[in-house]
A and B are shown apart, each in its own frame.
Chain A
């Protein structure tokens, strides 16, 4: 399995690119050479890693996980991590025409010659791109078809928590935060490589590392009613449960002081600093709120020093603080103050995404406003208090009213409100509640205008996504609304919005349906995915490429009913395909939250009262030091 040669050499790939790059859209996406990209001498490198993001360059380069792991791996002298993105179909066509295999952006070497090919699993709709990238890399799709000559194909990221729908394609899945475990895996590989051990020996030893799942060491069995009977280890050496990894001290963990600065415009092109991991809230639809538990914060000094170094090393003039809920960061005020004390002089602006409605302060708003003013976004998620209690959003209408009044009086004219349609127990009354809420926000603007504190036009954007039940959430037992029902709800909401000041956006419900199938899917879906890819599905997250009919054909050809996965309410005792993965939060706890949801009973947040979800054991028993 160790370093292979052969195939096209670097110069020939580079020269071949010159023959046609002007024919493709935005060719700079395929040529690297950006500021801070890492180049190493191959002769001095022992382990080569291709970090693959299964979407376009612009999307992938905006992803924080890539920046962290790229910096981390390259900080080890004899490891070399390169970036790989999914070529847009025009580029893919030219590459296939000329038999150019997928290559690393730094070395232009084919990634099939690397030691590791790693994918980050951010959303289900990128799965066909993974297969397409493997195929374009001239690497066999199925793990069982890859002999010792091929790289170890590995994956991590939030969707890896239910790895089963991808199990046939990967050698290894990583559960949890990657900073330590990635290095451990690569070190082990290096050691065995020097000892000339086989791939199987490597996988056998790798699965002893906490957080490492090697799917081929497990077997899936089913009941007569097609539900899962269980996923059991085939060998004694494979652990029965795979426990996720977390980083205990975020002040000590690696964080890059340098980002690759893209030439082309990307989705998020700025300094990003993580301020904490986990979330105290426990919104019942939100997978991130459970899989990243428990909450661990960075100190304001770590954050401030980090963003300063990043701005100096990149030249970015925008800073974004990243977390699941910025305003829950206990050191937000002092951190913002520290950053603004130097950033203002340098014309650098600070933005705070993921603000909550209930603890938003005028002070903070003014601080952030000082440099540059951006739009404000809030996510009430549901239109009525009853439904917000069901999902445990713990946001009240009067809080939204207070906050939007503050915002309008403070000079904001643009407010975005995010909602979900199709939440468990939702009725048309709840849908109308979204329109009412939007209207009340508009009214607040006119009140501010009458008081002379606001000018111009107001724009309230109401966006709805469709609820997708996710593993490791209290709603993992729930069914998804049928696509027709979701469409009716979208139509009804559209009709209920009367004001021209409100813009209504919504997501395609077919996409959400497929997401629901794969989010809670099992190993039987691997063949559907492969079939869909073979039929031509790719870039499913891009509406211009999403081919629902081909997907349905893939299901039909494989004799698998997608509705079984999306529309079925699970029994309390049902075994899930992700039950052998241990995120630290117990299934018992999730079930108790599900039952509370069905009775519209909210739960307190982690700081108010510990509900004993189990995640505290990951940090030695105590989540907060107070």
Chain B
């Protein structure tokens, strides 16, 4: 059995489909591609697919990850070709490779957050520079206060007039992860503003050295 890592884009076109829908779309694509994909064993065998952590509905992912197993070795180019031919338009294969790390070793991810608002960039930076940024988050034990400041590793704010791009590097591991929506929530709360119509793009996953995850 050979482990294969697929890097793909969940594009603007299909950003509204859920993770479950995406999973199903891939299952059907593998059925159509007739690739020798390994099935789990047992009474109800199913395709073995392992995804990087789910993207929220409405977000674009430029380099999402899906791990599969093949029963026989096939040229990576060939896999890319066959899979690309049968995927719905909005799912684009970027690269197919042999995995270097286990998918659980993903540490961070890069996001680009795009919005329009009439505000001075310094105001936003002031918020992001605070020592602590607590927000209430739903957990199994009810609402808990989380300091998301610790989960923001880097940020960079660019703007042309009212058009903002906030680049964020945030925790994205099994133990700690941050949805950039919460960063916008905090900015809104601290500045008593209402940034709306935000476009979220997950650019890529990173390893513990802040390098592209492979």
Contact of B30 among A19, A31, A315, A316 (CB under 8 A): A315
Within 8 A of B (CB), among A21-49: 21-22, 27-28, 30-31, 33-35
Pairwise interchain contact B31-A263, C-beta atoms closer than 8 A: no
Interface centre among A27, A263, A312, A314 (most CB of B within 10 A): A263
Pairwise interchain contact A35-B16, C-beta atoms closer than 8 A: no
Report B117 CB to chain A, min CB distance, Å: 14
Q: In the bound complex, what is the Cα–Cα distance between A33 and B87 (angstroms)?
A: 11
Pairwise interchain contact A33-B31, C-beta atoms closer than 8 A: no
Q: In the bound complex, what is the Cα–Cα distance between A28 and B19 (angstroms)?
A: 12
Indicate if B195 sits at the interface (CB-CB under 8 A).
no
Number of A-B contacts (CB under 8 A): 66
Contact of B58 among A27, A264, A312 (CB under 8 A): A27
Q: Which residues of chain A are near B90, meaning CB under 8 Å?
A: 33
Report B97 CB to chain A, min CB distance, Å: 24
Q: In the bound complex, what is the Cα–Cα distance between A314 and B31 (angstroms)?
A: 8
Indicate if A18 sits at the interface (CB-CB under 8 A).
yes
Q: Which residues of chain B are near A19, meaning CB under 8 Å?
A: 197
Indicate if B45 sits at the interface (CB-CB under 8 A).
yes
Report A456 CB to chain B, min CB distance, Å: 14
Within 8 A of A (CB), among B77-112: 86-90
Q: Which residues of chain B are near A187, meaning CB under 8 Å?
A: none
Pairwise interchain contact B88-A34, C-beta atoms closer than 8 A: yes
Q: In the bound complex, what is the Cα–Cα distance between A372 and B46 (angstroms)?
A: 12
Pairwise interchain contact A263-B58, C-beta atoms closer than 8 A: no
A34-B88, A35-B88 are contacts. A263–B14 as well, Cβ < 8 Å?
yes
Q: Which residues of chain B are near A316, meaning CB under 8 Å?
A: 28, 31
Within 8 A of A (CB), among B17-73: 17-18, 20-22, 24-25, 27-32, 39, 44-45, 57-58
Pairwise interchain contact A372-B44, C-beta atoms closer than 8 A: yes
Report B158 CB to chain A, min CB distance, Å: 21
**CB nearest to B56 among chain A residues:** A22
**CB nearest to B197 among chain A residues:** A19
Q: Which residues of chain A are near B21, meaning CB under 8 Å?
A: 28, 263-265
Pairwise interchain contact A263-B32, C-beta atoms closer than 8 A: no
**CB nearest to B88 among chain A residues:** A35
Pairwise interchain contact A28-B18, C-beta atoms closer than 8 A: yes
Pairwise interchain contact A21-B32, C-beta atoms closer than 8 A: no
Q: In the bound complex, what is the Cα–Cα distance between A33 and B11 (angstroms)?
A: 11
Interface centre among A30, A34, A313, A314 (most CB of B within 10 A): A34
Report A535 CB to chain B, min CB distance, Å: 33
Q: Which residues of chain B are near A372, meaning CB under 8 Å?
A: 44
Indicate if B123 sits at the interface (CB-CB under 8 A).
no
Indicate if B153 sits at the interface (CB-CB under 8 A).
no
Indicate if A261 sits at the interface (CB-CB under 8 A).
yes
Indicate if B13 sits at the interface (CB-CB under 8 A).
yes
**CB nearest to B91 among chain A residues:** A35
Pairwise interchain contact A315-B58, C-beta atoms closer than 8 A: no
Q: Which residues of chain A are near B29, meaning CB under 8 Å?
A: 315
**CB nearest to B89 among chain A residues:** A33
Contact of B25 among A21, A263, A313 (CB under 8 A): A263
Q: In the bound complex, what is the Cα–Cα distance between A21 and B59 (angstroms)?
A: 12
Residues 312-326 of chain A, each 1 if its beta carbon lies under 8 Å from chain B, else 0: 111111000000000
Indicate if A347 sits at the interface (CB-CB under 8 A).
yes
Pairwise interchain contact A263-B28, C-beta atoms closer than 8 A: no
A347-B39, A372-B44 are contacts. A35–B58 as well, Cβ < 8 Å?
no
Residues of B within 8 A of A (CB-CB), count: 27
Pairwise interchain contact A22-B57, C-beta atoms closer than 8 A: yes
Report A24 CB to chain B, min CB distance, Å: 10
Q: In the bound complex, what is the Cα–Cα distance between A28 and B16 (angstroms)?
A: 5
Residues 68-103 of chain A, each 1 if its beta carbon lies under 8 Å from chain B, else 0: 000000000000000000000000000000000000
Report B113 CB to chain A, min CB distance, Å: 14
A27-B16, A264-B17 are contacts. A315–B28 as well, Cβ < 8 Å?
yes
Residues 139-162 of chain B, each 1 if its beta carbon lies under 8 Å from chain A, else 0: 000000000000000000000000
Pairwise interchain contact B197-A263, C-beta atoms closer than 8 A: no
Q: In the bound complex, what is the Cα–Cα distance between A35 and B29 (angstroms)?
A: 10
**CB nearest to A35 among chain B residues:** B88
Pairwise interchain contact A315-B14, C-beta atoms closer than 8 A: no
Pairwise interchain contact A35-B28, C-beta atoms closer than 8 A: yes
Contact of A263 among B24, B39, B44, B86 (CB under 8 A): B24
**CB nearest to A30 among chain B residues:** B16
**CB nearest to B21 among chain A residues:** A263
Q: In the bound complex, what is the Cα–Cα distance between A31 and B39 (angstroms)?
A: 32
Contact of B88 among A18, A33, A312 (CB under 8 A): A33
**CB nearest to A311 among chain B residues:** B31
Contact of A33 among B13, B30, B58 (CB under 8 A): B13
Q: Which residues of chain B are near A346, meaning CB under 8 Å?
A: 31
Q: Which residues of chain B are near A261, meaning CB under 8 Å?
A: 25, 28, 88
Contact of B32 among A22, A264, A265, A312 (CB under 8 A): A312
Q: Which residues of chain B are near A27, meaning CB under 8 Å?
A: 16, 57-58
Pairwise interchain contact A315-B18, C-beta atoms closer than 8 A: no
Interface centre among B16, B20, B22, B31 (most CB of A within 10 A): B16
Q: Which residues of chain A are near B30, meaning CB under 8 Å?
A: 315
Report A59 CB to chain B, min CB distance, Å: 17
Can you offer 29 A-B residue contacts whose CB atoms are under 8 A? A18-B197, A21-B58, A22-B57, A27-B16, A28-B16, A28-B57, A31-B14, A33-B90, A34-B88, A35-B28, A261-B28, A261-B88, A263-B17, A263-B21, A263-B22, A263-B25, A263-B88, A264-B17, A264-B18, A264-B21, A265-B24, A311-B31, A312-B32, A314-B32, A315-B31, A317-B27, A317-B31, A347-B39, A347-B45
14 new A-B contacts, CB < 8 A, other than A18-B197, A19-B197, A265-B20, are A21-B16, A22-B57, A22-B58, A30-B16, A31-B14, A33-B90, A35-B25, A35-B28, A261-B28, A263-B17, A263-B24, A263-B25, A315-B27, A317-B27
